Amino acid sequence: MRTRLTILLLLLICGCAVGPDYQRPGYPVPSTYRGEGPGIPTQPAEASFGDLKWFEVFKDDKLQELIRLALRENYDVQIAAQRVLAAREQVTIQRSFLFPTINANAQTETIRTSSRGFNPFAVTLKDRMAGVVYGDLSWELDFFGRIRRATEAARAEFFASEENRKFVIQTLVTDLARAYIELRALDQQLEISHRTVKTREESHNLVQARFNYGWDSITPVLMTENLLYGAQAVVPDLKGAIEQQENLISMLLGRNPGPITRGKSLLQQDLTVTIPPGLTSALLERRPDIRFAEQNLVAANARIGEAKALLFPNIRITGVAGWESAALKHLFTGPASFWDIVAPGLTQPIFNAGRLRAGVRVAEAQKQEALLAYKKSIQQAFQEVSDALVGVRMLKEVRIASGKQVKALTQQTDLAYKRYFGGMTPYLEVLDSDRQLFESELKLTQDRANELLAVIALYRALGGGWQNGNEPAGSQNQNTSGMNKDAVK
C-alpha cells in the first residue's frame, strides 16, 4: 500500500496538463492615432486623456452627484456585480475537484426474529438493532490536467466578468454625461426660444401700432405674426424633449421618471483635451472591452486542454472506512471497524462514435472565434479613437464658424429693424434676418453640445470612465490577470 501511494503521489507531481498554454496573439498596432492634429496635444507621452478619472474630466458638481448616485443605484451595474460574484464562486467549484471528496454515512435497522419464520402474524421473539457508520472517499487524480484546465478557464471567465463590470461602469458614466450635456443644450435652446418669442411679441406690437396709425399696410403685421407663431411652436417641442431627456437620465440613475437637478449651464461646461491621447500600445491594456475579449480568449484556449484531457485515461482512487455491528452497543468497538482503499481505477475511452474528438474540434473552433473577436475589438477601438479625434478637431471649427455667423446675423437683424422703422427697407428684410438669426442660435447651441459630446466620445474611446476614486490612474495598465489573481487563488 505504501508503494502504491508513493507511485500515486509521483504521478500527481509529474502529471502534465495537456493542451496549449496561452500566449497573447500579435496584432499590428499603429504607432500613432489617425486623426491627431491642431487643437489636440500630439507630443509622445506615457499618460493619456483616458487615464483621468471621471471626476477629473466632468467638473460639474451636479453631474458628479448624478454619476455617484448612478454607480450606486443603476441596475445594470448591480447585475454586473452579481455576475462577478457568481463567476468567482465558479472558480471555487472547479478548483474543488482537485481535492478528494469525503462523505459521511450512517444507517440503523431493526432485526426481528419470528417464531414462525416470515409469517407476519407470528410472535416476535426478539428485536435487535443493527447499525453501520462509515465514510467514503473519492479522488480523481488530475494527471492529464483536465481539472486544472477547467479551473484556468473558470478563472479567466471570472476576470472577463470583472472587465465586463468595468465596461458597464464606463458605459454608464459616459452615457450619463452625454445625456446631461444634451439636457443642458435643450435647456439653452428653450431659453433662446423664450427670448425670441418675447422679442417677436415686442416687434409685433410695434408693427401693429404702425398699422393702426396708418403708417404701414397689414402685410408686416401678418409677417410678424408668422415669425411669432413659429417661435412659439418650438417651445412645447423643446419642453417635451427636455422631459423625455429627464426620464432617460432617471432611468440611468435607477429611479422612476422625475425632474433632474441642474448645475452649470452649457456655456460653463469645461471639457477640454488637456493631455495627448497617449501611446497606442497602452490602449489594449486600458479599454475594458478589449481585456474582456482577451480573457474570453484565455478561457477558450484552456477549454481545448480540458477537451483533450478527456481522450486520456481517467484515474480515480476510492476508499471506505467505518464501523458495522449487529448490536448498537458494540458499534464503535474495535472488532466492528472496517476500512478498504481501492487501488487506482483507470477508465480509458475506447469507442464513443467520435464524440470526444469532436469536442476537441469544437473547443478549437471556439478559440478561433474568440481570437477573431479579440482582434476585432482592437480594430474597433482604434477606429473609435480616430473618429473621436477627428470629431474633437472638426466640431471645434464648426462651433467657431457658427459663433461668427450668429454674431454677424445679430448685427444684420438689428440693422434691418432700424432700416425698416426708418422707412428705408421693406419688412421682408427684417423677416428673413430674424428667421436666420433664430435658426443660427439654435444651431450654435447644438454645435457647442456636439463639441462637448465629441470630447466625451474621445474619453470613452481611450478607455476612460471606469476608474474609481481609490484606484491610481495608471493602474489600469497592469495585466488583468495580475490585478485579480490573488482574489481567486
Closest CA relative to residue 128, chosen from 110, 144, 102, 104: 110
- Distance in Å from the first CA to the final CA of the chain: 33
DSSP state of 330: G
Question: Concatenated DSSP letters for 25-70?
Answer: PP----SS-TT--TTS--S--S--GGGS-HHHH---HHHHHHHHHH
Query: Which grid cell is 443?
Result: 444651431
Helix (H) or strand (E) holding 222: helix 218-252
Closest CA relative to residue 463, chosen from 452, 454, 476: 476
Per-residue pLDDT tens digits for 468-485: 755 433 433 333 344 444
- Residue-level pLDDT at 161: 94
Residue 114: φ, ψ to 5°: -105, 150
Taking the domains of the chain in order of start, what are their residue ranges? 17-98+143-312+355-488, 100-141+314-347
- Residue-level pLDDT at 329: 53
- Residue-level pLDDT at 180: 96
CATH class given for the domain over 17-98+143-312+355-488? mainly alpha
CB count, 10 Å around CB of 390? 17
pTM across the whole model: 0.82
Whether the domain at 17-98+143-312+355-488 and the domain at 100-141+314-347 fall into the same CATH topology? no
> pLDDT under 50 in the chain at which residues?
122-125, 471-487
Helix (H) or strand (E) holding 399: helix 355-421
Helix (H) or strand (E) holding 193: helix 146-212
- Residue-level pLDDT at 317: 79
Query: Which grid cell is 351?
Result: 469507442
Answer yes or no: are the C-beta atoms of 393 and 39 closer than 8 Å.
yes
Give me the CATH code for the 100-141+314-347 domain, please. 2.20.200.10
Per-residue pLDDT tens digits for 149-186: 999 999 999 999 999 999 999 999 999 999 999 999 99
Answer yes or no: are the C-beta atoms of 62 and 262 closer than 8 Å.
yes
Residue 144: φ, ψ to 5°: -100, 10
Output Rg (C-alpha) for the chain, integer angstroms: 37
Answer yes or no: are the C-beta atoms of 440 and 405 closer than 8 Å.
yes
